[in-house]
Amino acid sequence: MAQMNMKEAIRDAMRVEMKRDPNVLIFGEDVGHAGGVFRVTEGLQKEFGEQRVIDTPLAESAIGGMAVGLGVQGFRPIAEIQFVGFIFEALDQILVQAARMRYRSGGRYHSPIVFRTPFGGGVKAAELHTDSLEGLIAQTPGIKLVIPSNPYDAKGLLISAIRDNDPVFFMEHLNLYHAFRDEVPEGEYTVELGKANVVREGSDVTILAYGLMVHTAVKAADELEKNGVKAEVIDLRTLVPLDIDTILASVKKTNRVIIVQEAQKSAGIAAEVIAQINEHAILHLEAPVLRVTAPDTVYPFAQIEDQWLPTPARIIEGVNKVLEF
Amino acid sequence: MSKIPYEVYTEDVEALTVLSPDGEIINKAKAPDLTDDQLKELMYRMVFTRTWDDRAVNLGRQGRLGFYAPVSGQEATMVGSEFALDKEDFVCPGYRDMPQLVWHGLPLYQAFLYSRGHQHGGQIPEGVNVLMPQIIIGAQVLHAMGIAMGFKLKQQKHVAITYTGDGGSSEGDFYEALNYAGVFNLPVIFFVQNNGYAITTPFAKQTAAKSIAHKAVAAGIRGVKVDGMDVFAVISAVREAAERARNGEGATLIEAVTYRFRPHSLSDDTSKYRTKEEEGQWSEKDPIARLAKYLEKKGLWTEEDTARVKDEAKAKVNEQIKKAEQTEKMTIPGLIDSMFETTPKHLEAQKADFQK
C-alpha cells in the first residue's frame, strides 16, 4: 500500500498497464515530455519512451482519429483531451467513430480506447475547462462512462477501462486531483466497471452522487446525522452502464432519494437515474426523487462558481424536501 | 532555401499524364512497369466496375439496392490506385469508394448488403485490410493516419491509403490528418478524387487554391497532381508514394483530376449544375476507352473481350445481389449484442423486450 492522491493513482494505473501490455499507448497534447498540464502522465515518457507516450500536435479530432486507427491496428490507446470543453472538437471521433466501430463492422473491428479528460468546477479555471459534459457522452450508445471520486477507485477503474475492449470515456475531476491522499494498493487490481459503491450507509434517505459531489454529499450527510437523519450516500462511479441494482436496493431500504449532480439540471444523468427508479421501484417511493444540480445556464464565470455549484446546504434542503413530502 | 518564388502557390500545377487520350505513352519515365497479364487484369477490373455501376444504378431504381454513390468515370482512380498496392496495405474509403474495397477483397454481395443497410455488409473478412465506407467526410482520412501510425510503431512496411473528394479537402479533419502525417512522418497516401463537384458545388467554391495538391504544402508533405482519367498516371503516382512511404519517407497527397459521368447519388440531378457540353468533353477522356486503345494496339484486348467481361460482370452482379437478398435478416437482439464485447445488463433487459 502507498499513500496516493487521485492524480498519482491515475498515473500509477497507466504505469501498471503499460508495463503489463506493450500495446498500451498514451498520447495527447503535452502528455509526453511535460508529463501533462496536470502532471498526470509525468515520468511515463521517460520510463516507456517516445514510441509509447506521444506528444501530438494541437488537434483534438486528430487525437481521436489516431486512437481509432491505432485501435484497428491492435493497440490500446489512452488518448487525453486536455480539458473537457475541447472534446467538442473530437466528438465525431469519440461518439461516432469509436463508439460505433464494433456495431457498424458487426464485430470485425472494435475500439479498445480510453479517452481521458479532466473536468469539474471549483478551481476558478478559464472558460470551457470545467463543464460537466457527461450527459452528452451518456446518451450515446457504444461508449462507457466512468467518473471516479477517490484515488483507490480511480486506479482500479482506470485499469478496468484500459482492459475493456470497448471505448471508455474517463472523466477526472480537477478538484479531486490533489484534494486528499488515500491508501492505494501497489501493482494491479481492478474495480469493476458498472458497479456503484455505497460510501456511507444510512436508512432514512438515499443520496446518489458521482465525482466531486460524492464528497459534497458526504458533508451533507454528516450534517444531517447531527439532526438524527441517517443518509445513505452512493457513489455511482460508472454512469454507463449504470448500476441500477445497487441503486434499487438502497431505494427499497430508504424509500426516499435525491440525486446530486454538478451538471446543469435538464436532461442529464440525474434525469436518467430518476426515470429508471420510476420504472423499477415506484411503489417503494414515499416521495418523488428530487434533483440537486446546477442551474440551466452556461457554466458560470469563475467569480460566481461557488454559488452555482451544488453545496451541502442545498443538498440538505433537498433531503428535507423529500423527508417532509 | 527553395528557389521557387512565392508566386508559385497561386498558380496551378501540371497534372501528370502518362497515357494520352489516343492511347499513346507520352511519358515513358513515369510509365508503370506492368506485365501483359497485369494490363489485362487492370482492363478487366475497369470494365467490370463500369458494368457493376450500370447495374447498381438500375438495381437502385428497382429498389433492390439502397444508398449508392455512382462511380462511372472514376475507374482509373479507383481501380488503378488499389491495383498499385499490396494486400497488406490498408484502405480507408469514403462512401463512393466501394470498388477499392471489392478489389481489395470485400465480397461483392457484402458491398450490396452495405448498400441495402445490412450489418453483414460491414463485417469485413479477416485478412481483407479495409474499413467500411465512411459517411462522415474527413473522418476516414484521420483513421488512415492512425492506421499508418500503427504500421510505423509495428515497424511494418505497409501503407495506408484513404480516399476523399474535392469537397472533403475543405474539412478540418482532412487538414489535421495531413498535418499529423507530416509531423510523425507516417506511411500514408491521401488520395483525393477531384471530380469537380461536391454534390452541386463546383470545385471553385470549395477553395481559392488552384489545386488540392497545393494543400500538402501546409502540412509539409509531398503533394502531386495526376490526370485521374489516366490509369497509368494513377498507378505511377500511387506506386511512387507507396515506395516512399515504405522507405520511411512519409506521406503523399495525390490529387487525381477526374469526373463522375453519373450524378452524385441516385437522388441527384446533374442537369441543374452541369452542362451537356461539359459532360461531353469529359466523356471523351473516358479512362476505359483510353486504356482500351493502348491495349488494342498492343494486341492485348479486343471489343469481344469487353463484351465478354460485361457479360461476366452482369452474371456476377446477378448472383451476388441474389446472395445479398438471401442473407439472413437482422434482429434487434442481434444488433444489441453487437454493441459491446459483453452486453451490459441494461441492454440484456432491452433485448428481452424484443425477444417476446
pLDDT, one tens digit per residue, over B50-62 is: 999 999 999 999 9
pLDDT at B1: 55
Average pLDDT over residues B194-219: 94
In percent, how much of chain B has pLDDT > 90? 93
The answer to whether A25 contacts chain B (CB < 8 Å) is yes
- Let me know: does B47 contact B309? Beta carbons within 8 Å: yes
Query: What single-letter amino acid sits at B273?
Result: Y
Q: Could you report the average pLDDT of every consecutive run of 10 residues in chain A (325 residues)?
A: 96 98 98 96 98 98 98 98 97 98 98 98 93 97 98 98 98 97 97 98 98 98 98 98 98 98 96 97 98 97 95 98 97
Say yes or no to pLDDT of B4 above 70. Answer: no
pLDDT at B322: 98
Q: Distance from B94 to chain A by nearest Cα, in Å?
A: 14
Q: Which are the catalytic amino acids of B? A: 260, 264, 273
pLDDT at B6: 58
Q: Which residue of B has its CA nearest to A60?
A: B176
Contact between chains at A97 and B136 (C-beta distance less than 8 A) = yes
DSSP state of B94: B
pTM: 0.97
pLDDT at A54: 98
Helices B172-184 + A60-72 axis angle, to 10: 70
Q: Tell me the CA end-to-end span of chain A in Å, nearest whole number.
A: 46
Contact between chains at A244 and B346 (C-beta distance less than 8 A) = yes
- Size (chain A), residues: 325
> Would you call B164 helix, strand, or coil by DSSP?
strand
Grid cell, residue A218, equals: 458526504
**pLDDT tens-place string over residues B256-304:** 999 999 988 888 888 889 999 999 999 999 999 999 999 999 999 999 9
Which residues in chain A have Cβ-Cβ distances shorter than 8 Å to B180? 56-57, 59, 62, 66
Which one of A73, A96, A238, A240 makes the best mutation probe of the B interface by having the most chain B beta carbons within 10 Å? Answer: A73
What pLDDT band is residue B13 in, cutting at 50, 70 and 90? confident
- Let me know: does B219 contact B249? Beta carbons within 8 Å: no
Say yes or no to pLDDT of B34 above 60. Answer: yes
Contact between chains at B131 and A61 (C-beta distance less than 8 A) = no
Helices A6-20 + A151-163 axis angle, to 10: 30
What pLDDT band is residue B5 in, cutting at 50, 70 and 90? low
Question: How far is residue B324's CA from residue B116's CA, in Å, rounded to a whole number?
Answer: 9
- Let me know: does B143 contact A93? Beta carbons within 8 Å: no
Say yes or no to pLDDT of B8 above 60. Answer: no
**pLDDT tens-place string over residues B140-170:** 999 999 999 999 999 999 999 999 999 999 9
Question: Which of A64, A106, A194 is facing B122, going by the closest CB pair?
Answer: A106
Spatial neighbors of A100 by CB under 8 A, at least 6 apart, are A142
Q: Distance from A95 to chain B by nearest Cα, in Å?
A: 12
CB-based burial of residue A37 (10 Å sphere; 0-12 exposed, 13-18 middle, 19+ buried)? Answer: middle
Question: Which of B131, B146, B339 is facing A102, going by the closest CB pair?
Answer: B339
Residue with cell 477526472: A172
Neighbours of B271 (CB within 10 A): 9
Say yes or no to pLDDT of B3 above 70. Answer: no
